[in-house]
Amino acid sequence: MQAFRVSGTAPFGSQRQKFNIDLVADSADDAEHRCYSIIGSRHKANRRSITIDTISEIDPRTSSEPRILDAFRDQIAAAGGTIAPVAEEE
């Protein structure tokens, strides 16, 4: 399994907005399919209306997405922790 960052635009409500989503997938094709599935189920968007601009493999330590951190927690701990800045709690 690898970590991917998918970027594009999709209809959220009455307007189109840009999105970035970090996913755990086997390949870039699998990441694309999972992105369509997640955005379609959350926002009732058809696959035809979702435009994916880039799919890139990322270092799991740079993500703040809980799914990524959970899937790669052993690798992240072995490498010395996350690289992503942690937001302060108020």
The residue ranges of every structural domain in the chain are 2-78
| Token pair 């927690």 in the structure block, residue | 73
CATH number among 3.10.20.10, 3.90.1150.10, 3.40.50.300, 3.30.1490.270, domain 2-78: 3.10.20.10
Q: Which two tokens stand for residue 60?
A: 């799991």
Per-residue pLDDT of the chain (90 residues; tens, 9 = 90+): 999 999 999 998 889 999 999 999 999 999 999 999 999 999 999 999 999 999 999 999 999 899 999 999 999 889 888 785 656 556
Strand 51-57 versus strand 2-12 pairing type = antiparallel
DSSP 17-78: EEEEEEEEESSHHHHHHHHHHHHHHHH---GGG-EEEEEEE--GGG---HHHHHHTHHHHHH
